[in-house]
Amino acid sequence: MQFAKRLQPLQFNVFAEMDRAKTKAKAAGQQLIDLSLGSSDLPTEAHVLEAIAQSLGDPSTHGYLLFNGTQAFRQAAANWYEQKFGIKVDAQTEVLPLIGSQEGTAHLPLAVLNPGDFALLLDPGYPSHAGGVYLASGQIYPMPLREENNFLPVFSEIPAPVLAQSRMMVLSYPHNPTSAIAPLSFFQEAVAFCQQHNLVLVHDFPYVDLVFEKTEDGQGDKENIFPPIPPSPPLPLSPSSPLAPSIFQADLDKSVSIEFFSLSKSYNMGGFRIGYAIGNAELIHALRQVKAAVDFNQYRGILNGAIAALTGSQLGVNAAVATFKQRRDAIVSALHRIGWQVPTPQATMYIWAKLPTHWSQNSIQFCTELVEQTGVAASPGAGFGKFGEGYVRFALVHEPAILTTAVERIAKFL
């Protein structure tokens, strides 16, 4: 049986590889502490579950859900965005429901790229960004993220011949896996660059709320290596007022940009697979055309739960941020105690740790042997791109005591 050549680049997946290693370790009797997958272990809020539960008994929610039936959700998403960022959003033309933001980032290249066109992607970056380009028969130009540049790409390094064939750029800050935050000035530079070169600017924004509080001096956590976000125009007061900027604070007219949101992180709804895109009306329409050929929408009850999340109390979001900050502090302190000097991230639910010298060029072997010998599972940096080699990512998906135990096992392994 013969398959399409576009599948060849998709044969390696960091999460699938680690899943096999974890299964092998469990079979050998290891007690697994899984820090490899960024799936929140925190519960979905009760008022969200109640909205979904009430929908189950309503027969009108049991049929296909087409675009016009998503109006209430799209309006809730538009209102949420306007509250948070102070930018008007048209729920009819500038919002599209998604089965998680990953669906959107994977399908958008089908609407933007012709075979052979380049997409400019962050390296390291989230694997599905590359997957969507490959499925669209596009080419990838990796924009290196280096510690000395605060894990931000340098646009002037992109070769002119590549730029001439490029149609889109994908950014994502706060960033997975490095946990870096991009200042508004960087987004302003990115928007100007994309406008100049006629590029679609994609911003994947699932960690909008997972930014840890500022210190009294307003500069973020003092030990953080990433630069603070410069002051931006005042935003409406909100219980979850963001510390990370939206791309539309730089692209006020939505001239070239589309931004993807997910309820997986802020609202602990990963298993419900619900997200949405906001952006340029033409881009939203093009993505809607692709989506119409692939699927309808989720069960209406899930959208009702998402509406409850977006419009209800945001105290649960604040509690989740506090929980991940506590976990961050616990694992960073534990790693420092064993002599592994890692920076303290200002955002996301990850630790991006430079490997000890002995392992600096083999993150996959490190993670494989670590889980086999200790039961501690982490994600190898190489799985996120060439420039991720030499690093490992730990996800903060357990309580502090378990994270400390994981570090104790790592110490014995090292």
Tens-digit pLDDT profile for residues 371-382: 999 999 999 999
Per-residue model confidence (pLDDT) at position 243: 77
Per-residue model confidence (pLDDT) at position 214: 54
pLDDT band at 241 (very low <50, low <70, confident <90, very high): very low
Per-residue model confidence (pLDDT) at position 15: 72
Instruction: State pLDDT tens for residues 285-322.
Output: 999 999 999 988 999 999 999 999 999 999 999 999 99
Q: Is the predicted pLDDT of residue 232 greater than 50, yes or no?
A: no
Distance CA 361, CA 353 (A): 13
Per-residue model confidence (pLDDT) at position 215: 32
Question: Residue 68: CB partners within 8 Å, gap ≥ 6?
Answer: none
| Mean pLDDT for the stretch of residues 155-174 | 98
Question: Residue 367: CB partners within 8 Å, gap ≥ 6?
Answer: 18, 21, 36, 377, 378, 379, 380, 392
Per-residue model confidence (pLDDT) at position 259: 98
Percent of the chain surpassing pLDDT 70? 92
pLDDT band at 114 (very low <50, low <70, confident <90, very high): very high
The H or E element spanning position 328 is helix 315-337
Distance CA 202, CA 108 (A): 9
Q: Is the predicted pLDDT of residue 147 greater than 80, yes or no?
A: yes
Per-residue model confidence (pLDDT) at position 297: 92
The answer to whether the beta carbons of residues 105 and 129 sit under 8 Å apart is yes
Per-residue model confidence (pLDDT) at position 311: 97
Distance CA 89, CA 228 (A): 27
pLDDT band at 242 (very low <50, low <70, confident <90, very high): low
Q: Which residue has the higher pLDDT, 300 or 20?
A: 300
Closest CA to 100 of 241, 290, 351, 297: 297
pLDDT band at 213 (very low <50, low <70, confident <90, very high): low
| Mean pLDDT for the stretch of residues 151-164 | 97
For the chain, what are the domain ranges? Answer: 5-43+315-413, 47-311
Instruction: State pLDDT tens for residues 339-388.
Output: 999 999 999 999 999 999 888 889 999 999 999 999 999 999 999 999 99
Chain centroid offset of residue 138 CA: 22
pLDDT band at 178 (very low <50, low <70, confident <90, very high): very high
CATH of domain 47-311: 3.40.640.10
Distance CA 329, CA 343 (A): 11
Percent of the chain surpassing pLDDT 90? 82
Closest CA to 245 of 237, 253, 233, 254: 233
Instruction: State pLDDT tens for residues 81-97.
Output: 999 999 999 999 999 99
- Class of the CATH domain delimited by 5-43+315-413: alpha beta
Half-sphere exposure of 169 (CA within 13 A, CB side): 25
Q: Is the predicted pLDDT of residue 11 greater than 80, yes or no?
A: no
Strands 379-380 and 275-279, by their bridges, are unpaired
| Mean pLDDT for the stretch of residues 123-129 | 93
Closest CA to 92 of 121, 70, 113, 112: 70
| Mean pLDDT for the stretch of residues 107-120 | 97
pTM of the model: 0.91
Mean pLDDT taken over the chain: 91
Strands 33-34 and 376-377, by their bridges, are parallel
Per-residue model confidence (pLDDT) at position 223: 38
SS3 103: helix
pLDDT band at 216 (very low <50, low <70, confident <90, very high): very low
Per-residue model confidence (pLDDT) at position 377: 96
| Mean pLDDT for the stretch of residues 276-291 | 97
Q: Is the predicted pLDDT of residue 194 greater than 90, yes or no?
A: yes
Residues in the chain: 414
Q: How far apart are the first and last CA of the chain?
A: 45
Q: Is the predicted pLDDT of residue 174 greater than 70, yes or no?
A: yes
Distance CA 52, CA 169 (A): 36
Question: Residue 225: CB partners within 8 Å, gap ≥ 6?
Answer: 147, 150, 343, 344
pLDDT band at 231 (very low <50, low <70, confident <90, very high): very low
Domains 5-43+315-413 and 47-311 alike in fold: no
Q: Which residue has the higher pLDDT, 231 or 175?
A: 175
Per-residue model confidence (pLDDT) at position 349: 97
